[in-house]
Amino acid sequence: MDYRQLGRTGLKVAPLCLGTMNFGPRTSEADSHSIMDAAHENGLNFFDTANRYGTQPGETEEILGRWFASGGGRRERTVLATKLYGDMGDWPNEGKLSALNIRRAADASLKRLQTDYIDLYQMHHVDRETPWDEIWEAMSVLRQQGKILYVGSSNFAGWHIATAQGVAASLGMVGLVSEQSLYNLMSRWVELEVLPAAEHHGLGVIPWSPLAGGLLGGVLAKERDGVEGRGTANTEGIEKNREVLTAYEELCSDIGEKPADVALAWLLTRPAVTAPIIGPRTIEQLTDSLRVPEIDLDDAALDRLEELFPAPFPKGSNPAPEAYAW
């Protein structure tokens, strides 16, 4: 496994991040534990979760916590990322990024995860009501207490990243080290501002939904074979994009690779991207993705992908974020 640095940090993570959103709602606890064991056996050390994941908030973190508690160096071998922001209850201050909620949410996640520290503590969304000096002071306290090591963001705009880093620098803090964004061949809007901001400020980008909700996972072939899944259930998305998906799956067939693997391999060629999130429901889905880092898309394949899924700025223009500047 060729590990990558997470942004500008010295932290080394696998080029694929194991997403755990299915653990609980769609994958049993026993199967979830088996998937995490298989991930370690194959060198994947980067796991992502959130305090809201599960059939009820906190369930997925609890599944990870019981896996860590089973020993065998599981926690020590894992770079653990979790998130806070969403409401965990109906009472005031049980969500968002006030200093009070940051403190309480971190302590609650640590208890559920059965660990004394979180490697990467991520803000699941920007808080438009809490000032950055309050957020950074609260994160600084957690870091001084040894409860978190790094801070990341998720679903931030480029200017949110720039603002956060500016305030962090003024306080003498490291600031953000990662940004988790919606990013795939069919959704490339982050290339306008988010990716350039991340690259400039040294953030590692962690794309979520790399298969566009299953549409890039060979959905037309599955449709023909009668295989049901998240992608095939999106009939509106299939019909809207049938022509380009047909051409995409033909390209993947021509180069001898699975559509899902090509979509992930493409992300690994993008600036600032550290590791796309894979969210397997089964061990088979996990193992299917393991050879993605070995896939070398040649210039012809990359050019064809660019034709099928063009960037969100005019071809031949200046590179983002100056694509629309003179």
Q: How many C-beta atoms lie closer than 10 Å to residue 25's C-beta?
A: 13
**pLDDT above 80: residue 319:** no
Strands 118-123 and 148-154: parallel
Residue carrying structure tokens 């600084």 = 140
Averaged confidence pLDDT in the chain = 96
Residues paired with 47 in a beta bridge: 18, 80
Which residues are bridge partners to 84 per DSSP?
Answer: 123
- The whole-angstrom separation of Cα 264 and Cα 61 is 26
Least confident of 39-43, 148-152, 227-231: 227-231
Q: Does domain 4-213+267-296 have CATH number 3.30.1300.10?
A: no
As a whole-number percent, the residues of the chain with pLDDT over 70 amount to 99
Q: Residue 140 pLDDT more than 80?
A: yes
Residues forming a β-bridge with 146: none
The overall pTM is greater than 0.75: yes
pLDDT > 90? residue 233: no
CA distances from 155 to 122, 168, 195 (A): 10, 19, 12
CB within 8 A of 296, min separation 6: which ones? Answer: none
Q: What are the tens digits of pLDDT across the range 41-78?
A: 999 999 999 999 999 999 999 999 999 999 999 999 99
First-to-last CA distance in the chain? 43
Q: What is the pLDDT of residues 119-132, one digit of tens each?
A: 999 999 999 999 99
32 pLDDT higher than 80: yes
Q: Which residues are known to be catalytic?
A: 53
Where exactly are the structural domains of the chain?
4-213+267-296
Angle between helices 259-267 and 235-255 (to 10 degrees): 80
Residue 326 confidence (pLDDT):
60
pLDDT digits (tens, 9 = 90+) for 245-263: 999 999 999 999 999 999 9
How is 126-157 classified by DSSP, letter by letter?
Answer: --SSS-HHHHHHHHHHHHHTTSEEEEEEES--
CB atoms within 10 A of CB 40: 16
CA dihedral in degrees (167, 80, 196, 264; nearest 10)?
-170
Residue 210 to residue 32: CA distance in whole angstroms: 21
Evaluate whether 248 touches 308 at the Cβ level (below 8 Å): yes
